[in-house]
């Protein structure tokens, strides 16, 4: 192979020349590129052929990736680096010859006629747009070790950033399709740019939450590769100091999104489908979608090729300014100029005072918030010219003033917002300015750094980001006519913030201001201490006086009206020290914890009889409970699902269940005392069962518990509340399904027994804690007994999460299951440090759940994979087989079960187990990886077929169980 190579090219690098025999022709070509571009140093320390050959080939695999992922390859990267490093050493100003001026753009005022018209035009255009999220970073700078898009946008509902973005896009999609002139329906594409750090975790977040309601085919993940680091002004590639066969790499910057879109072929596909716009946004601005509809309307009205979203900017504020630059040769461009470059540029261009505020109190150069709207056709044409490349910059840290050596390696970088730098002067480039309170609240600083920000400047932290959402929503309602009480100031994590009423709503309730105005009428008022979360679509607020907590969750077809006085104990927020490691990261970085859950009783405002036919809506009034509220360790408390019953008892009539699609769903804890003289009459005029914890796309069978943290050590009042018999379910405790936290605790007990060969048996639920970030997690403590040790008792701990990995399935993933140490009663209650590794699960047990048992399973060609359990085996293992069945029944809520009804005892009929392992038939039942086909009847004689798939990643205490009814 080496004989075909021009030996003169490699003669100066004997170490490489001696190893040519192991390289492929493509790898030899890569070696040529490196040598021709001054990179011979990479091979100086290579040993002779036969030593470290695998590592040498790995080196060229990395070189191949670096070469293919950069427009023009490594030769272009090194050439550009040499030019930029030379300019940097000479101190060359990239803006030499340019004069700054204020560009033309659109300034919008929230709520006025022009703003409303722009929003409406934006909704029309939304179905013609694709949305691109740049999400390549982790939250380490925030003090959070996960991906930033998994952080809660706000803690009232626990909705994470990614969920909010998807729900906003879906709301725009629905509204835009509804008014489409041709009546057609179109799905809006959603692209997420990820990185090595975020790709798998972003995909897991989407898959475990069923893409938050979006079709998986709408979502495309494009992974950004890193670029090579540079060691010196000669652009020599930097080797890893710990591995001479590896190049140091670092992120190239979010400007890579343009080259990824170009190379993916999506732009051509979108044009063919009739799309016109591409919207780019970054990962943690919780207010962004307040600005999207109107800004898109501006782009369509002004026919902008490029529209940069902007906010008013104070002079010298640390945010880039949108600026028009005109060169002495006549060239001009409208781009973002960083704040530390804008002031000296102005001073050098005849403005002696530099960047100063004008008569408006703000700088005439609006602040860039890195959100772009591009017209698709011109955008594709421009990328075809540039190959997707964006103008780059380099920022080396020199050791001294000679600028001959770096403190550490550097690399080329590019920014998404620098796309206009290559556009011709004829390009229509503008901006849309909106109020900061409405459109801009990024989350990018950790609590410690935020606390050091000078007073009056934005904190840009998780704390300020959440408070900004409440402020924006309060001001929007105020503009719609609601009387909002003024905020109070509070110090959280060392940051003084305004605390407004904690108001949130789903995008489907109010995506644009004109829709919100239609849903608010009369004399409405909300106190500062109040919390209101609207999760329904057709929820109308009329003459509402709210002083407390109100959570509304209704199905899309229901019409709900809120009116009258709603007054209760409300939610109070508890301050948290960001250094308190006992609190989950996503909570402590914002400095607030809670809420304390209020007690609420609901009753009819009208005097109609309880047995009257249900109306399309109800006016309900909440009165303060006489009993103290029960505290919760988590803010994520929600309503019953829409199919849960409301009991409207009367002294002379039996209980009449109403579907919650027809009435307002109530909220929070109830403490009601049954009238023991009658099974159908109660002392309270109306009883609403307690709500469950929120679980995306997998509602529970019925309201199980409204406590996020509970233990038997708490008050007797709380313990009584825990009992279903004491809260008037019309069936006995043993007839209805166990609570979800109890079932998940039992899964952990089952895992322990399976792995340890024990037979610990469940006695009672002792304590549980739960939290919600992107999915719901449980830390459960049970009491169990060991029959093999004279029924000796122990406390047993389980850490599990509820994932949604396949449609219509429930997935319980255990990462900790053990007997609680007696000498450490306060052992870990938070997350596990070793997540379940799906990559280690056998491929046979991955992917979609199998279909029901084939007819010839026990007699056909694959009969050795199957085994039907004998009656004696079923009797021996009935405890965990019943557990599988109960978990599967939870998936039927809302379809099979419309009200609370008895299901137990269950009668197991036939159980067949399937495994991949070649083991003795009887041992299949105990296999770590197995699929069970379970047929059973409930107590009412209804037949069910259940598929249960259990798997393990081989790590002790790890266990995954997926179940579904079919």
Gap between the Cα atoms of 511 and 672, Å rounded = 39
Gap between the Cα atoms of 71 and 245, Å rounded = 24
Q: Tell me the chain's radius of gyration from C-alpha atoms.
A: 31
Task: Characterize 417-433 residue by residue with b for buried, 16 or more Cβ atoms within 10 angstroms of its Cβ, and e for exposed.
Answer: bbbbeebeeebbbbbbb
Other CB atoms within a 10 A radius of the CB of residue 100 amount to 22
Angle (CA) 458 459 465, round 5°: 100
Which are the contacts of 413, defined by CB distance < 8 A and separation ≥ 6? 252, 253, 255, 392, 393, 394, 395
> 194 forms bridges with which residues in the sheet?
223
* Phi, psi values for residue 454, rounded to 5°: -55, 145
Contact 530, 546 (CB under 8 A): yes
pLDDT < 50: residue spans in the chain: 1-5, 596-732, 825-832, 894-900
Tens-digit pLDDT profile for residues 373-396: 999 999 999 999 998 889 999 989
Gap between the Cα atoms of 133 and 166, Å rounded = 10
For 905, the token pair is 């005892």
The length of the chain is 966
> 550 forms bridges with which residues in the sheet?
532
730 CB-contact burial (10 Å; exposed 0-12 / middle 13-18 / buried 19+) = middle
Note the helical H segments in 41-99.
53-69, 73-90
CA distances from 943 to 506, 905, 934 (A): 38, 13, 11
CA distances from 86 to 39, 380, 418, 673, 874 (A): 18, 32, 21, 81, 77
Residue keyed to tokens 């799905």? 187
Gap between the Cα atoms of 657 and 686, Å rounded = 11
Contact 132, 191 (CB under 8 A): yes
Q: Which pLDDT does position 901 carry in this prediction?
A: 52
CA distances from 156 to 466, 467, 572, 689, 784 (A): 10, 11, 11, 21, 35
Q: Which pLDDT does position 226 carry in this prediction?
A: 92
Q: Are strands 531-534 and 559-567 parallel, antiparallel or unpaired?
A: unpaired
Q: Which pLDDT does position 919 carry in this prediction?
A: 67
Gap between the Cα atoms of 630 and 637, Å rounded = 12
Gap between the Cα atoms of 261 and 223, Å rounded = 11
Contact 314, 456 (CB under 8 A): no
Q: DSSP letter string over 413-450?
A: EE-GGGGGGGS-TTS-EEEEE--HHHH--B--B-HHHH
For 470, the token pair is 């409440």
Q: What strands, in cross-sheet order, belong to the sheet with 549-552?
A: 502-505, 531-534, 549-552
Q: Which pLDDT does position 703 carry in this prediction?
A: 28
DSSP state of 644: S
> 285 forms bridges with which residues in the sheet?
442
Other CB atoms within a 10 A radius of the CB of residue 854 amount to 14
Gap between the Cα atoms of 253 and 182, Å rounded = 41
pTM of the model as a whole = 0.67
Which residue, among 747, 888, 701, has the nearest Cα to 809 in the 3D structure?
Answer: 888
* Phi, psi values for residue 37, rounded to 5°: -115, 25
Task: Characterize 39-70 residue by residue with b for buried, 16 or more Cβ atoms within 10 angstroms of its Cβ, and e for exposed.
Answer: bbebbeebeeeeebeeebeebbeebeebbebb
Residue keyed to tokens 């900017």? 313
Tens-digit pLDDT profile for residues 915-948: 876 667 777 888 889 999 999 988 878 889 999 9
């Amino acid at each position: 192979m080496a004989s075909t190579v021009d030996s003169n090219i490699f003669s100066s690098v004997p170490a490489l020349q001696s190893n040519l025999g192991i390289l492929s022709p493509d790898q030899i070509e890569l070696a040529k590129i490196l040598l021709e571009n001054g990179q011979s140093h990479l091979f100086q320390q290579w040993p002779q052929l036969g030593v470290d050959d695998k590592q040498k080939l790995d080196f060229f695999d990395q070189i191949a990736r670096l070469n293919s992922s950069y427009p023009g390859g490594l030769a272009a990267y090194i050439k550009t680096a040499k030019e930029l490093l030379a300019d940097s050493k000479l101190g060359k100003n990239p803006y030499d010859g340019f004069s700054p001026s204020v560009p033309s753009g659109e300034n919008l005022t929230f709520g006025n006629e022009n703003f409303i018209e722009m929003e409406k035009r934006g909704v029309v255009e939304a179905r013609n747009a694709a949305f691109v999220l740049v999400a390549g970073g982790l939250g380490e700078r925030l003090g959070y070790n996960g991906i930033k898009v998994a952080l809660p946008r706000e803690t009232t509902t626990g909705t994470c950033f990614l969920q909010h973005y998807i729900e906003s896009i879906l709301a725009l999609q629905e509204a835009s399709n509804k008014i489409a002139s041709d009546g057609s329906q179109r799905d809006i594409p959603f692209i997420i740019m990820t990185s090595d750090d975020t790709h798998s975790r972003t995909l897991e977040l989407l898959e475990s939450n069923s893409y938050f309601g979006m079709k998986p085919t709408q979502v495309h993940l494009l992974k950004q590769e890193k670029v090579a680091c540079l060691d010196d002004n000669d652009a020599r590639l930097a080797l890893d100091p710990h591995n001479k066969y590896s190049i140091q790499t670092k992120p190239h910057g979010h400007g890579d999104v343009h080259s990824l879109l170009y190379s993916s072929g999506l732009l051509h596909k979108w044009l063919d489908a009739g799309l016109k716009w591409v919207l780019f946004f970054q990962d943690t601005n919780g207010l962004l979608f307040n600005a999207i509809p109107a800004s898109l309307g501006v782009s369509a009205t002004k026919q902008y090729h490029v529209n940069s979203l902007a906010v008013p900017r104070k002079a010298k504020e640390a945010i880039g300014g949108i600026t028009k630059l005109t060169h002495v040769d006549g060239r001009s461009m409208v781009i973002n100029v960083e704040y530390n470059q804008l002031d000296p540029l102005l001073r050098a261009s005849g403005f002696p005072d530099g960047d100063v505020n004008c008569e408006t109190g703000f700088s005439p150069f609006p602040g860039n918030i890195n959100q772009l709207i591009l017209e698709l056709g011109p955008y594709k044409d421009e990328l075809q010219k540039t190959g997707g490349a964006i103008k780059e910059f380099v920022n080396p840290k020199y050791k001294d003033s000679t600028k001959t050596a770096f403190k550490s390696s550097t690399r080329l970088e590019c920014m998404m917002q620098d796309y206009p730098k290559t556009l011709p002067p004829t390009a229509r480039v503008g901006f849309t300015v909106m109020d900061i309170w409405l459109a801009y609240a990024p989350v990018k600083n950790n609590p410690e750094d935020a606390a050091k920000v000078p007073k009056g400047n934005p904190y840009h932290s998780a704390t300020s980001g959440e408070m900004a959402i409440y402020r924006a929503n309060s001001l929007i309602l105020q503009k719609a006519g609601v009387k909002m009480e003024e905020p109070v100031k509070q110090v959280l994590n060392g940051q003084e913030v305004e605390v407004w009423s904690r108001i949130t709503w789903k995008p489907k309730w109010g995506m644009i201001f004109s829709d919100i105005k239609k849903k608010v009428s009369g004399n409405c008022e909300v106190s500062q201490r109040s919390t209101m979360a609207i999760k329904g679509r057709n929820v109308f607020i009329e003459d509402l006086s709210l002083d407390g907590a109100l959570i509304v969750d209704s199905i899309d077809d229901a019409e709900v009206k809120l009116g009258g006085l709603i007054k209760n104990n409300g939610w109070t927020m508890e301050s948290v020290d960001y250094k308190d490691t006992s609190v989950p990261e996503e909570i402590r970085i914002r400095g607030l914890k809670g809420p304390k859950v209020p007690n609420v009783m609901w009753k009819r405002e009208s005097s109609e009889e309880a047995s009257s036919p249900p109306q399309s809506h109800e006016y309900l009034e909440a009165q303060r409970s006489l009993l103290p509220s029960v505290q919760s360790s988590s803010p994520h408390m929600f309503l019953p699902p829409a199919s849960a019953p409301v009991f409207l008892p009367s002294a002379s009539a039996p209980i009449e269940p109403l579907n919650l699609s027809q009435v307002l769903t109530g909220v929070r804890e109830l403490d009601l005392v049954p009238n023991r003289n009658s099974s159908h009459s109660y002392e309270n005029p109306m009883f609403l069962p307690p709500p469950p914890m929120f679980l995306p796309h997998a509602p529970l069978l019925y309201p199980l518990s409204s406590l996020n943290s509970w233990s038997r050590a708490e008050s007797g009042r709380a313990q009584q509340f825990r009992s279903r018999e004491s809260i008037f379910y019309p069936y006995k405790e043993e007839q209805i399904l166990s609570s979800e936290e109890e079932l998940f605790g039992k899964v952990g007990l089952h895992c322990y027994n399976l792995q340890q060969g024990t037979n610990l048996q469940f006695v009672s639920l002792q304590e549980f804690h739960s939290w919600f970030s992107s999915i719901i997690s449980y830390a459960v403590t049970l009491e169990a007994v060991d029959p093999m040790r004279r029924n000796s008792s122990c406390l047993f701990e389980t850490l599990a999460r509820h994932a949604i990995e396949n449609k219509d399935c429930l997935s319980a993933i255990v990462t900790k299951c053990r007997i609680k140490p007696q000498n450490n009663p306060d052992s870990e209650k938070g997350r596990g440090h070793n997540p379940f590794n799906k990559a280690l699960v056998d491929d046979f047990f991955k992917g979609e759940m199998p279909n029901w048992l084939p007819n010839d399973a026990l007699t056909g060609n694959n009969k050795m994979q199957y085994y039907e359990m004998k009656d004696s085996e079923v009797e021996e293992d009935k405890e965990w087989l019943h557990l599988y069945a109960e978990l599967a029944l939870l998936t039927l809520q809302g379809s099979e079960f419309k009200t609370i009804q008895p299901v137990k005892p269950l009668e197991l009929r036939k159980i067949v187990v399937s495994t991949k392992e070649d083991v003795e038939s009887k041992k299949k039942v105990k296999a770590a990886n197995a699929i069970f086909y379970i047929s059973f009847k409930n107590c009412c004689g209804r037949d069910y077929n259940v598929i249960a798939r259990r798997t393990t990643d081989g790590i002790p205490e790890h266990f995954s169980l997926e179940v579904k009814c079919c």
